[in-house]
């Protein structure tokens, strides 16, 4: 068999795997949005079965044979060509996944499907004990996964690599250490600032149906294609892409707080725009049609949420429209008033509702706790007490209940240990990318004032989205910005922004 023939067969097999994974994604989305609670056990079996089938197909020895045939052939002569990237990244995934027993893959999928339902119940009741046995089961299975992968240093490295390939726990700890001191200093200066915005502006009554109307307006304006996606309601917002032409986003509404659904929606739209911008039709089921890493993915969502959505220029255009929709809730509110309110900084319980200045402290907390869980230094039963103690240290506020504490995030219930650090990586990447976009598009902020977001989206499509997995995250950052990832662009952005708002 020639390398070209082997490559064609490899493409065919990977497309079949992708179709199974797409069906898994549909079932997962529907479980979190419309499925009745009574369907949980059956759904766990359905998803577990499909996970096993997908794993079995992808780890078939024939895939390894095909990879061996194409590796070192003329197809890989140019290491940045489509074929070379697809071969390289498929080999990387294949070598990892063949280390996982099919039974473990199925059991983990079934267990997390059940655990997510129990987490939702526990969160609603604000009772960690309801979720505790499920967290114990998930952590045990995740440890087995790490052991199956193998690792150098600590087991958390094996899990982190699933979301941010090539990055180690030490890498994360080093970046976070540099960021932590400057963040704490900024938050302290804001706390003692001579002027404070009026946060009550965004905590008035905002009719949910009008919020839905406004959110759809904003989502469409910044590029979300409702002919290729939809917006629904869930407990914990997320984005699912089933393949070309079908990307789903979700949000949750609070009738007494405008920020929650609005910026949550913009965040998920950012994820969706990345998925919609990937060349999925051209590279169906192949690495060149997939995102680089969770950190890069998060950079897209945080950019649209923060650098765009929380900019003053964005609201030059959208505040008049918001006033027409929400009327008395925004009567007499000026642009400066509103801009200050949506950027109000204060320590708070909930990560997804946190301001930009304190957000990364939420991630640092979770990073520490995850490492301790996986290493065995922290037992699942002790999570509430440890969470509350560390939260007090970071934020200087007492956690009042489990729902506002260790039960607020869905991630551990679905087995996403190693995921949280990518949120802060995303913030770092987003600031660095956005600074470069502003240099490349000198009138970018003026475009925002006119309601034009296509310039930024086109820049992202060209520089990030259409690159697929051509480069690993750190190399992509250097290619796009000319510099390695640094915490400095993020801190420069935040120091300037909050300096103007708070007079510091």
**Beta strands 246-251 and 229-233: pairing type?**
parallel
d(CA 166, CA 141): 23
Q: How many other CB atoms are found less than 10 A from the CB of residue 379?
A: 14
Note whether 138 and 105 are within 8 A (CB). no
Note whether 188 and 497 are within 8 A (CB). no
Angle (nearest 5°) at CA 457 between 175 and 296 = 25
DSSP secondary structure letters along 37-101? GGGHHHHHHHHHHHHHHHHHHHT-HHHHHHHHHHTTSGGGSSTTSHHHHHHHHHHHHHHHHTTS-
Beta bridge partners of 239: 249
Beta bridge partners of 241: 247
Note whether 226 and 220 are within 8 A (CB). yes
Q: Measuring CA to CA, which residue among 458, 456, 433 is closest to residue 445?
A: 456
Three-class DSSP category at 106: helix
d(CA 136, CA 371): 15
Active-site residue flag, 298: no
d(CA 338, CA 14): 49
Q: How many other CB atoms are found less than 10 A from the CB of residue 189?
A: 15
Taking only Cα atoms into account, the Rg of the chain, rounded to an integer number of angstroms, comes to: 23
Three-class DSSP category at 256: coil
Three-class DSSP category at 232: strand
Would you call 400 exposed, middle or buried from its count of C-beta atoms within 10 A (0-12, 13-18, 19+)? exposed
CA torsion 421-424-425-429 (nearest 10°) is 170
- To the nearest 10 degrees (0 to 180), the angle between helices 421-440 and 356-375 is 140
The catalytically annotated residue of 31, 268, 275, 279 is 268
- φ/ψ region of 346 (left if φ > 0, alpha if ψ in -120 to 50, else beta) reads beta
The sign of the dihedral angle between the CA atoms of 368, 374, 377, 379 is: positive
Note whether 101 and 148 are within 8 A (CB). yes
- Residues labelled catalytic: 268
């Amino acid at each position: 068999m020639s390398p070209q023939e082997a490559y064609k067969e490899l493409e065919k097999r990977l497309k079949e795997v992708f179709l199974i994974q797409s069906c898994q994604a549909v079932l997962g989305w529907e479980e979190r949005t419309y499925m009745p609670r009574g369907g949980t056990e059956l759904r766990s079996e359905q998803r577990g079965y499909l996970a096993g089938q997908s794993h079995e197909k992808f780890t078939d020895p024939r895939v390894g044979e095909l990879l061996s045939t194409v590796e070192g052939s003329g197809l890989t002569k140019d290491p940045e060509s489509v074929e070379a990237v697809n071969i390289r990244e498929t080999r990387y995934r294949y070598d990892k996944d063949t280390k996982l027993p099919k039974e473990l893959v199925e059991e983990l999928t079934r267990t997390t499907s059940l655990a997510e339902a129990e987490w939702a119940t526990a969160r609603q009741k604000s009772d960690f004990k309801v979720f505790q046995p499920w967290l114990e089961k998930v952590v045990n299975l995740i440890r087995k996964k790490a052991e199956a992968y193998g690792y150098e240093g600590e087991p958390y490295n094996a899990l982190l690599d699933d979301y941010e390939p090539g990055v180690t726990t030490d890498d994360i700890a080093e970046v976070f250490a540099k960021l932590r001191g400057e963040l704490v200093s900024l938050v302290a200066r804001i706390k003692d600032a001579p002027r404070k915005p009026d946060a009550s502006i965004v905590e008035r009554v905002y009719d949910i149906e009008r919020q839905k109307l406004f959110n759809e307006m904003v989502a469409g304006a910044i590029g979300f294609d409702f002919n290729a996606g939809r917006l629904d309601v869930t407990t914990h917002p997320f984005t699912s892409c089933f393949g070309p032409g079908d990307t789903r986003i979700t949000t949750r509404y609070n009738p007494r707080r405008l920020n929650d659904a609005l910026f949550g929606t913009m965040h998920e739209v950012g994820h969706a725009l990345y998925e919609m911008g990937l060349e999925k039709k051209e590279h169906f089921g192949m690495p060149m049609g997939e995102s680089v890493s969770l950190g890069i993915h998060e950079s897209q969502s945080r950019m649209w949420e923060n650098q765009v959505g929380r900019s003053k220029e964005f609201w030059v255009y959208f505040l008049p429209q918001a006033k027409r929709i929400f009327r008395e809730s925004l009567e007499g509110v000026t642009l400066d008033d509103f801009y200050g309110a949506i950027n109000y900084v204060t320590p708070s319980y909930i990560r997804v509702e946190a301001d930009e200045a304190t957000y990364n402290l939420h991630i640092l907390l979770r990073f520490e706790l995850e490492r301790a869980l996986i290493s065995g230094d922290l037992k699942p039963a002790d999570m509430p007490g440890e969470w509350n103690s560390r939260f007090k240290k970071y934020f200087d506020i007492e956690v009042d209940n489990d729902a506002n504490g260790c039960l607020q995030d869905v991630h551990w219930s679905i087995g996403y240990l190693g995921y949280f650090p990518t949120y802060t990586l995303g913030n770092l990447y987003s600031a660095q990318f956005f600074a470069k976009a502003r240099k490349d598009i000198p009138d970018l902020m003026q475009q925002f004032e006119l309601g034009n977001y296509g310039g930024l989206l086109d820049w992202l499509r060209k520089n990030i989205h259409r690159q697929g997995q051509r480069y690993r995250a750190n190399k992509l950052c250097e290619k796009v910005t000319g510099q390695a990832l640094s915490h400095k662009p993020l801190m420069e952005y935040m120091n300037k922004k909050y300096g103007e708002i708070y007079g510091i």
